[in-house]
């Protein structure tokens, strides 16, 4: 598929963090879209940033996240950092006047999420959490089937995402950086149930295996009650077979 022509005023993007999702998903999409340009990437060292800029074909490299936020040629940032760093850099991006696409999970608790939302509202910038599946055309079909009653009344959602992460040095096993199955994979099941029912659960029962070195969950599961006989079962694991 050939790339469409660029519009007169595309959104100019900067990338904070050099993870695989940014490299293999976000950046190729930004380069392809006629609505966006890939301007800059930032890492904790200028050497890593320059190497990543060459790989993803970004125009500029910055040796710190703060320097990218000072770049006047960047309108919006994708924050692909570990979960535990999302709050700080989302708020700092908002204060710098940048729109924010923050990787999921948005925050480690509701209070942090509210602070992020308020900072972006005060700065009059957009904030979006990176649950990309919501924008896939297949899900438009699913939502239409449910809305039109083609499958009858929906009363139960079952969803799960499972994988095996054996690298113990990975940030997903760090409590400080917001690791664990809930924030990384189980959150998808919770998110899709909320989307399909179009409401928030009124009660939740959850269990988790927290027997890791730092006490983050390797596997978690939740039963969510959405009221009126509607419920969901959400599961996720970083320590089992690959399945979703």
User: The whole model's pTM is what?
Assistant: 0.92
Report the chain's C-alpha Rg in angstroms: 19
126 and 213 share a domain? no
70: domain CATH number?
Answer: 3.40.50.720
191: domain CATH number?
Answer: 3.30.360.10
210 and 173 share a domain? yes
- Other Cβ atoms within 10 Å of 133 Cβ, number: 12
Instruction: Give the residue numbers spanning the domain of 158.
Output: 136-243
What does the pLDDT read at residue 5?
61
The domain total for the chain is 2
Residues (pLDDT < 70) of the chain are 1-6
Residue 15 three-state SS: strand
* Alpha carbon distance 149, 152 (integer Å): 5
Residue 207 near residue 185 (C-beta atoms within 8 A): no
- Final residue of a structural domain among 130, 156, 180: 130
Q: Among residues 52, 98, 104, 147, which one is catalytic?
A: 104
* Alpha carbon distance 236, 163 (integer Å): 8
What does the pLDDT read at residue 212?
94
Residue 2 lies in a domain: no
Residue 56 lies in a domain: yes
What does the pLDDT read at residue 18?
84
Q: What number of H helices and E strands is found in the chain?
A: 9, 11
Would you call 104 a catalytic residue per the annotation?
A: yes
What does the pLDDT read at residue 8?
85
What does the pLDDT read at residue 163?
96
Residue 208 near residue 217 (C-beta atoms within 8 A): yes
Q: How far is CA 74 from CA 136, 210, 213, in A?
A: 26, 40, 40
148 and 126 share a domain? no
What does the pLDDT read at residue 1?
52
Q: How far is CA 102 from CA 16, 131, 176, in A?
A: 10, 9, 18
* Alpha carbon distance 115, 27 (integer Å): 28
31 and 78 share a domain? yes
């Amino acid at each position: 598929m050939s790339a469409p022509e660029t519009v007169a005023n595309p959104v100019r993007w900067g990338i904070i963090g050099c993870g695989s999702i940014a490299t293999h998903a976000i950046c190729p999409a930004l380069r392809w879209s006629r609505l966006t340009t890939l301007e800059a990437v930032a890492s904790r060292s200028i050497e890593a940033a320059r190497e990543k800029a060459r790989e993803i074909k970004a125009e500029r490299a910055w040796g710190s996240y703060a320097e990218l936020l000072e770049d006047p040629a960047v309108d919006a940032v994708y924050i692909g950092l570990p979960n535990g760093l999302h709050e700080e850099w989302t708020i700092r991006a908002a204060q710098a006047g940048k729109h924010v696409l923050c990787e999921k999970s948005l925050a480690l608790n509701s209070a942090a999420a509210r602070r992020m939302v308020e900072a972006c509202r005060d700065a009059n910038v957009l904030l979006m959490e990176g649950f990309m599946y919501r924008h896939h055309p297949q899900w438009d079909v699913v939502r239409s089937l449910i809305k039109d009653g083609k499958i009858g009344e929906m009363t139960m959602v079952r969803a799960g995402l499972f994988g095996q992460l054996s690298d113990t040095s990975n940030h997903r096993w760090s409590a400080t950086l917001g690791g664990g199955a809930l924030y990384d994979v189980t959150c998808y099941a919770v998110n899709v149930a909320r989307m399909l029912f179009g409401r928030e659960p009124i009660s939740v029962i959850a269990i988790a295996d927290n027997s890791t070195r730092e006490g983050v969950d390797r596997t978690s599961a939740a039963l969510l009650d959405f009221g009126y006989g509607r419920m969901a079962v959400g599961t996720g694991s970083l320590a089992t077979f690959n399945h979703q």
